[in-house]
Every structure is written in C-alpha cells, then in structure tokens.
Chain A
Amino acid sequence: MTLTRDEVRHVAMLARLGLEPGEEDFYAEQLSAILAHIDRLREVDTDAIEPTAQVVQVGSRLREDLPEPSLPQERALTNAPETKDGFFVVKAIQESEP
C-alpha cells in the first residue's frame, strides 16, 4: 500500500498535525515503507479469528455511583496557557472548519 500526497494531507488534517512544505512527500514515502512491511499481515488467514482488543480478561469492573471531591478551580486551570474568569480560552472557531 502506498500513500498519495492527498491521503497524507487528509490524514494530517484528521490528526490536526500541521505540515511544512515538502512534508507530504516525506511522509508519503516513509509511511508507505512502513506499510509495505505491515502489508505482510495479509498473508495471515484470520477468517475464523476473533479480534483481541484486550488480552487479559478482567470481567466487568464498574465503580459505585459515589461523588468525590473535584479539583479546586485554580488547580484545574493552573496548567492552562490562557484563562479568563475561570474559563479556558481558545481562539475563534471558524465556520469553514472541516
């Protein structure tokens, strides 16, 4: 499987990773090389095999519905790049956003 430049651009946008000029080709080449190795998975017959998301069976571990203290507001905000009146601040969201 080889990636096209368009696919690289699409994936970068899905992952919200900015690309510098020329990086489409760089990633297309590198990811294609890695995928070339990964494509060997196709040799394996997995028709009758269940996928494994978690190897260890731990049963259904749920928590009781008990409230616990939250963080004080200033502790919640302390690592933020920008805050205002107790809110986190982000730049305007533009309509054209995909």
Chain B
Amino acid sequence: MKRRELSAVELLEDCLGVIEREEPRIHAFVRLSEELARAQAEEADRRFSGDGQVGPLTGIPVAIKDVLCVENVETTAGSQILRGFRPPYESTAVARLRAQGAVFLGMTNCDEFAMGSSTENSGYFPTRNPHDPSRVPGGSSGGSAAAVAAGEAVFGLGTDTGGSIRQPAALCGVVGMKPTYGRVSRYGLIAFASSLDQIGPFTRMVGDAALVLQAIAGWDRRDATSVDRPVDMLSSLERGVEGLRLGLPREYFEAEGMEPGVRAAVERAVLTLERAGAELVDVRLPHTDYGLAAYYIIAPAEASSNLARFDGVRYGARAESAGNLLETYLQTRRGGFGPEVRRRIMLGTYALSAGYYDAYYLKAQKVRTLIAQDFERAFESCDAIVSATSPVVAFPIGAKVADPLAMYVCDVLTLGGNLAALPGVSIPCGTSEGLPVGLQVLAPQWADGMALRVARAYEAASNGS
C-alpha cells in the first residue's frame, strides 16, 4: 500500500477488473459504488499531483461492510427491512477514510444486522469463500473478508461483536482486527449489540491493518463510549516478540469442537513465535465455558432494543397491506427481518422481560464481569494471549443453518474478547484440510499496538520477510 507504483485510477481499475472476474463466483458485494469510486480516485490523483493532502490511504480502494452508513449511499445492514435506505449522515469511521482520500468500492455482504458466523443470514444472498466457493467465508463480515482475500479490494472495513471480523478473516486467510472497545467511534455503525460492537480493518498484511486503524481510531464527540487516548498503532509494530510473554489458555486449546488440524496449525504457529524469542506461559481463563451463554443473552437483549426502531415509519420497507398500526408493526417486522434476526429478537426480548431479567440479563452481566476478571488476571502473567481464532475451518454452505447452537459455537474463542473489550487480531497461520487457519492474538485493553506487534512478528517469522 505504501508503494505508489500505480495511480489511484489505475489501482481502482485493477480492483474493478478483479471484481468483474471474481464477483460471479464469491458475491462479496451487495452493491458497488463505481461512480463514487471513480470520482474519489480522480480526486486522489489530483491530491498526488500536489493539489491537497496525501495520507497513507489516499487513493486506496476499500470495501465497506453494509452496516456502516455512507452518506447518500444505500446502506442496509444486509437486511430487506432497510432496502433503499440512504442515510443523510456518515459513520465516523467512513468519514475519516473519506477525509484521507480512500476510494469506496461499495458495500459488502454480511449476515443480516451482523448476526451470524457465515454470511448465510444475509437478506440478499450468501457470500462464498474465495478459497473454496462451496464453503462459507465466515461472518458476519464475510463480504469484506472475501473481497480482500480475492483481491477485489486493498482493504476492508468490518464490525466485530462476537468475532465477526476475526472469524471471517481466519476462514478467508486474511488479517482482521477488532480494536479495544471505545477505540473506534461507533457513530453510524448500525448497531447489533452496543456494548460489544467495534469497527476494524481487513487487510492482507498486518502493517496495513495498523495503518487503517491509525486512520479510523480516536475519540469522537458523537460517540460517548469512544475514548480520548493517544492512538499509536505504528511505532512498536516492528519490535518483534523477543522477551515478550505469550499466554496459552488451556481452555481455548481444548475448546469444544476444536478441529485437530486447526489445533495443529496453531501449535506450529506458537512454536514459530517461541523461536522468534517469545516466552510461552500457561494461563487460565476459568469462565470460558460460560462465555457463550453470557454472550447469547447480552447481545440479543441489546439487539432486541436496537432493532425496535425498524418499524416502517421513518425509513425502510413497510408492509402495505396492514389495516392498522399494530398490523403494520407485526407485518413489517415479520416480513423485513430474516429468521436469525427474529430468533435473536425473541431471545433478547424474553431475557429482558418481566420476571426473567434477573435470571438472564443481570446474571449474564455478572458473568461478564467474571470473564473480564479472568483476562485481567491472565494478563498479569503475559503480554498477549494467543490461540486459534476459530475452532473450525470454513464449512460447507448450509452445513450449520438448521442448528443455531452449532453456528454459535464458531464464536467461542472470539467472543471473550468482546465481553472483556479487548483488542484482538486474527492472522493467517497455515492451513488445515487445504483451508486457511487463523491465529488469534488478544492483548489487554488499549494495548492494540501490542496485538498488532505480536501478529506482525508472527507474519515476519513465518514469511521470513
């Protein structure tokens, strides 16, 4: 990305060429914004010819997950209920890319409202894994992961609520990062679960992920949960792992459903890091077994409230056959939301309803405290935690659709990072059954640079570059 051998327009045409060739096979985009992209590329080239500010992302084509509002560009969260919605505002992360002069290729497919781990829950069509189109790309940010993996885009933006950046990055063989909660403004991110959602990059190289994060991170007056802390993703990137202690949580290596091939690839990666100078330590995360249960209360509960605004009054689709307001609500939401979204709204509504709040929501929030404490304790004896990102490689389309719990288990190694607000990177670490495996690096809150540094050290050690 740093080398400027091509003009922005040439780079865009390259990407559009790949898109034309690959899209019929992988369906990463729900809609392209070619016209906007061309105008932005030309503008970028004008900047290069001395007419304006140039940054590391100027002229770089990006694929944007369909949950990040782009002003006046149709943004639908992968849902039929938002078909035709053109926001009169822009998400802060996208606005910061726009200010840098990035080139917007279009909106990428995702599980509807980011609820899913395979992109099969899209309200439009499933996206396919570039490594094997009969398999899923992971999710929910499967479109952005696949677009970057296929070379359609130089980088992508995704969102991660329980692993929705890291897991598809692992399954598609690219780098994906979820920053510390509060690092990147959520303004304009169509919310799934407000206390867990975070925006992050997909790239092919760790260094590029650091550049993108550097560009989009930082306090935003429009997001009261964004944090005013210095953003430095770059200065420690190349320092290696010499002298760092890396924690290996036994619970993560022995997770339910862990494929032997995935475990083997991750263990090889751990050895590579050890050879590069890291000290390996055992750490414990004793409440791991309860993470999934806590997550599947908290996230649906918040979602059930966040998705109440889709009522067919101010925007989006609405059922026209209804004779009164109640029928309008019922039919609009029945017809506009897909089955997984409806299931989670039901689950979340139930968990918050009278008589069940204490047993479910409050209990889950307390278990969340315990999980965050597990990580705090673990980080007393290590600088970062490494594990697999996903216990499984990309699975065939349709394999887990009928069993929601089997799908939810895909997130067991990633959702702890969301519950505890930690930064986490997934980086490709070989293959299992010919499909990519991801290595997850988790670091303490605000140590986003540390997560990137360890990932970069692995990248350098494994490529010899």
- A-side interface residues toward B, CB under 8 Å? 3, 7-8, 10-12, 14-20, 27, 30-31, 33-35, 37-44, 46, 49-56, 58, 61-63, 71, 75-76, 78-82, 88, 90-94, 97
Contacts and interface: CB of A to CB of B under 8 A. Distances in A.
Q: Main secondary structure on chain A at its contact with chain B?
A: loop
A39 B296 CA distance: 11
Shortest 9 CB-CB distances between A and B: which pairs?
A18-B334, A51-B365, A18-B330, A79-B315, A46-B366, A55-B421, A16-B329, A15-B349, A49-B366
A52 B287 contact: no
Contacts of B221: 63
Contacts of A81: 312-313, 315-318, 320
Nearest to A27: B346
Nearest to B344: A34
Interface string B389-416: 0000000000000001100100000000
Contacts of A3: 350
Contacts of A58: 182, 224-227
Contacts of B419: 55
Contacts of B316: 79, 81
Interface in B322-359: 322-331, 333-335, 337, 342-343, 345-347, 349-350, 353
Contact of B334 (A10, A19, A35): A19
Nearest to B226: A58
A92 to B, nearest CB: 5
A91 B325 CA distance: 5
Nearest to A93: B325
B195 interface: yes
Nearest to A82: B318
A32 to B, nearest CB: 11
18 contacts: A15-B333, A17-B337, A17-B346, A27-B346, A40-B289, A49-B367, A52-B372, A55-B421, A56-B181, A56-B445, A58-B224, A76-B88, A79-B85, A79-B316, A80-B313, A81-B317, A91-B322, A91-B325
B245 interface: no
Q: Main secondary structure on chain B at its contact with chain A?
A: helix
Nearest to B89: A71
Given A18-B334, A44-B370, A51-B368, 19 more contacts: A7-B350, A16-B311, A17-B337, A30-B343, A31-B343, A34-B296, A34-B347, A41-B290, A44-B367, A50-B369, A51-B365, A53-B365, A54-B225, A56-B421, A78-B88, A80-B313, A88-B313, A92-B325, A94-B324
Contacts of A82: 318
Contacts of B224: 58, 61-62
B294 interface: yes
A11 B345 CA distance: 9
B266 interface: no
Contacts of A76: 88
Contact of A38 (B320, B328, B331, B360): B360
Name the interface size band of chain B. 35 or more
Interface string B355-382: 0000010111111111010000000000
A71 B88 contact: yes
B346 A15 contact: yes
Contact of B327 (A14, A39, A79, A91): A91
A3 B408 CA distance: 20
Contacts of B367: 41, 44, 46, 49
Contacts of B345: 15, 17
Given A14-B353, A31-B350, A58-B225, A90 B328 contact: yes
A56 B223 CA distance: 13
Contacts of A53: 195, 365
Contact of A30 (B225, B226, B368, B404): B404
Contacts of B362: 51
B331 A18 contact: yes
Contacts of B289: 40
Nearest to A62: B224
B392 to A, nearest CB: 18
Nearest to B350: A11
A58 B195 CA distance: 13
Contacts of A52: 365-366, 368-369, 372
Nearest to A39: B293
